Amino acid sequence: MKESSTPNNRRKFLQQLLTGSMATLAMPMLGASGEPRQSLVAGDASDERYWEMVKKQFAVPPKLMMMNAANLCPSPYSINELVTETLQHLGQDVSFQYRHQFADKRGMAIEKMSQFVGVGKEEIGIVRNTTEGNSIIVNGLDLKAGDEIILWDQNHASNNIAWEQRARRYGFTIKKITVPASPQSVEELLTPFTKAITPKTRLISFSHVSNTSGIALPAKEICRYARTKNVLTLVDGAQSLGMIDLNLKDMGCDFYTASTHKWLLGPYENGVVYISREQLDKIWPTVISAGWKDTGKTVDEKLCVLGQRNETTPFALPETIDFQLSVGKKVIEERVRKLTAYLKDQIRTKIPQATFVSPLPAELSAGIVIFNLPGKTPAETYQKLYDVYGIACAATGGIRLSPHIYNTLEDIDRLVTALGSLAA
């Protein structure tokens, strides 16, 4: 084994990368704008200069602007480099001995993630994405003809279509809930769910935040009401983990799923599934591979033994969570809310002909702003934003913009100016 590949040396090198302390290297590392890289340091979140420094933790070059956190986020340099370095070292040494560290790191990732979302470590499993987490619940729960489940019609395909396929096979009933298109109160979002519950209802499955409208459902109110009726809840958190300051015990859901490559800013193709300890024995494993034991007592042991994975992605999860915590969960949520509120406000005042799909009241949405421009298809605007202005967004439910902490208020100004030109 090469000296630099020994676990101790490697750990030291990675620590240097993570702390940004590259003093031992001769050349300073340059950031996306060509200036020497700056480490993340604590600062005043009400000062825009703090967010300029946060932005410099990411490799997005100045000519590009990422406004698509709802789909995929760039990771900070430290995480990208950790994944890349780990992959390079793995290419040099794929022995069981070298890979032993991956199991330790997975344990650490589970522990950190459980603290991050306020649950027990035995209640967290590592999967590849939200889709896989959803399928673990969809295919693992015993349901039969006569049972009923409630779905939100705005759920992602990995939730609704997966349940529909399962219902076709096993004969249970699906009730789909619609909420008002322009809700004005939390009550209007809650009531359709509570009213749909009957004595046959076994589960409600919903996206915490819709990727097609930006509506944020009152997850805690839905989950807590469902529990009083003995109804289970699956919250699809693809659009909330890493953006909303979450505590799953407080929310009161039974199951929660999310990807780490979206708002968490973490490694690509990685996700988490939460199953409350009270419900674990109700979920059958869908995938079983070598290492699975009937005696598995945790979510990860029982449901997440998925065969050989690219272990370099979960490897970076503890550092991803550390990065989030060093900015602060609450600070991140407040920042994203500030960016989206400013974005809505600027669109309303500078492009008055724009029509919003996302609710304007802050408490009814989170992180995602969707709107339409009269006479333009969302696909056309989405493509021009990228081709002409280097701005990445989505054409999902309208023109979908989802800023994150690597964006600044100045970015929003640039974006709205670009949109104004395209709308003219």
Using CB under 6 A as the criterion, which residues of the chain lie in contact with ligand PLP when the complex forms? Answer: 71, 129-131, 156, 158, 207, 211, 236, 238-239, 259
CB 148 within 8 A of CB 175: yes
Closest to ligand PLP by CB, 77 vs 152, is 152
Torsion of CA 57, 58, 61, 64, to 10 degrees: -130
Nearest distance in Å: CB 6, ligand PLP = 35
Distance CA 71, CA 78 (A): 21
Nearest distance in Å: CB 406, ligand PLP = 18
Closest to ligand PLP by CB, 207 vs 312, is 207
CB 123 within 8 A of CB 249: no
Nearest distance in Å: CB 67, ligand PLP = 15
Single-letter residue type at 247: N
Closest to ligand PLP by CB, 57 vs 211, is 211
Residues 6+ apart with CB under 8 A from 368: 70, 209, 210, 211, 213, 214, 239, 340, 358, 400, 401, 402
Residue 273 CB neighbours (<10 A)? 28
Nearest distance in Å: CB 4, ligand PLP = 34
Nearest to 257 by CA among 231, 295, 283: 283
Nearest distance in Å: CB 61, ligand PLP = 25
Sign of CA dihedral 345, 72, 219, 189: positive
Q: How many alpha carbons lie under 13 Å from residue 363 in its C-beta half-sphere?
A: 7
Closest to ligand PLP by CB, 239 vs 324, is 239
Nearest distance in Å: CB 22, ligand PLP = 32
Nearest distance in Å: CB 71, ligand PLP = 6
Closest to ligand PLP by CB, 129 vs 346, is 129
Closest to ligand PLP by CB, 90 vs 272, is 272
Distance CA 377, CA 373 (A): 8
How distant, in Å, are the alpha carbons of 150, 284, 299 from that of 292?
32, 13, 12
Nearest distance in Å: CB 238, ligand PLP = 3
Distance CA 282, CA 291 (A): 21
Closest to ligand PLP by CB, 259 vs 358, is 259
Closest to ligand PLP by CB, 241 vs 283, is 241
